[in-house]
Amino acid sequence: MPKGSNQKIKILYLMKILLERTDEEHGMTLSEIADALAAYGVDAERKALYDDLEVLRVFGIDIEKRKEKNVKYHVISRDFELPELKLLVDAVQSSKFITHKKSDELIRKLEGFASRYDAQKLARQVFVSNRTKTMNESIYYTVDSIHEAITKNSMISFKYFEWNEKKEKTLRHGGKDYIVSPWALTWDDENYYMIAYDSEIEQIRHYRVDKMLKIVMLDKARDGADVFKDFDMALYSKKTFGMYGGREETVTLRCKNSLAGVIIDRFGQDIVFTRFDSEHFDISVRVVISPVFLTWLMNFGADIKIVSPESVCKDYVALASEALKQYD
For residue 250, the one-letter residue type is T
Handedness of CA 44, 45, 48, 50 (dihedral sign): positive
Q: What is the pLDDT of residue 279?
A: 94
Residue 95 confidence (pLDDT) above 80: no
Pairwise CA distance, residues 205 & 11, whole Å: 53
Q: What is the pLDDT of residues 297-309, one digit of tens each?
A: 999 999 999 999 9
Let me know: does 190 contact 97? Beta carbons within 8 Å. yes
In this structure, how many other beta carbons lie within 10 angstroms of the beta carbon of residue 43? Answer: 12
Paired strand residues for 212:
160
CATH 3.40.50.300 holds for 3-77: no
First to last CA, the chain: 79
Residue 257 confidence (pLDDT) above 80: yes
Let me know: does 45 contact 10? Beta carbons within 8 Å. no
Over pLDDT 70: what percentage of the chain?
92
Pairwise CA distance, residues 274 & 267, whole Å: 15
What does the buried/exposed string (b/e) look like for 55-85 if buried means 16 or more CB atoms within 10 Å of the residue's CB? Answer: ebeeeebebeeeeeeeebbbbeebeeebeeb
pTM recorded for the entire structure: 0.61
Mean pLDDT of 162-170: 83
Pairwise CA distance, residues 229 & 184, whole Å: 12
Residues 6+ apart with CB under 8 A from 45: none
Q: What is the pLDDT of residue 129?
A: 45
Mean pLDDT of 57-84: 92
Stronger pLDDT, 169 or 300, i.e. the higher one:
300
Mean pLDDT of 56-64: 95
Residue 243 confidence (pLDDT) above 70: no
DSSP letter for each residue of 118-175: HHHHHHTS---TT------TTHHHHHHHHHHHHHTTEEEEEEEEEE-TTS-EEEGGGG
Q: What is the pLDDT of residue 16?
A: 95
Q: What is the pLDDT of residue 148?
A: 94
Mean pLDDT of 201-217: 91
139-229 CATH pick, 1.10.10.10, 2.30.30.100, 1.10.3720.10, 3.40.50.2300: 2.30.30.100
Residue 190 confidence (pLDDT) above 80: no
Pairwise CA distance, residues 148 & 183, whole Å: 11
Q: What band does 224 get if pLDDT is binned at 50, 70 and 90?
A: very high
CATH 3.30.70 holds for 239-325: yes
Residue 217 confidence (pLDDT) above 80: yes
Q: What is the pLDDT of residues 99-157, one digit of tens each?
A: 778 888 888 899 999 999 998 888 655 444 445 566 566 777 888 899 999 999 999 99
Mean pLDDT of 24-53: 93
For all residues of the chain together, what is the average pLDDT? 87
Let me know: does 55 contact 100? Beta carbons within 8 Å. no
Mean pLDDT of 75-95: 87
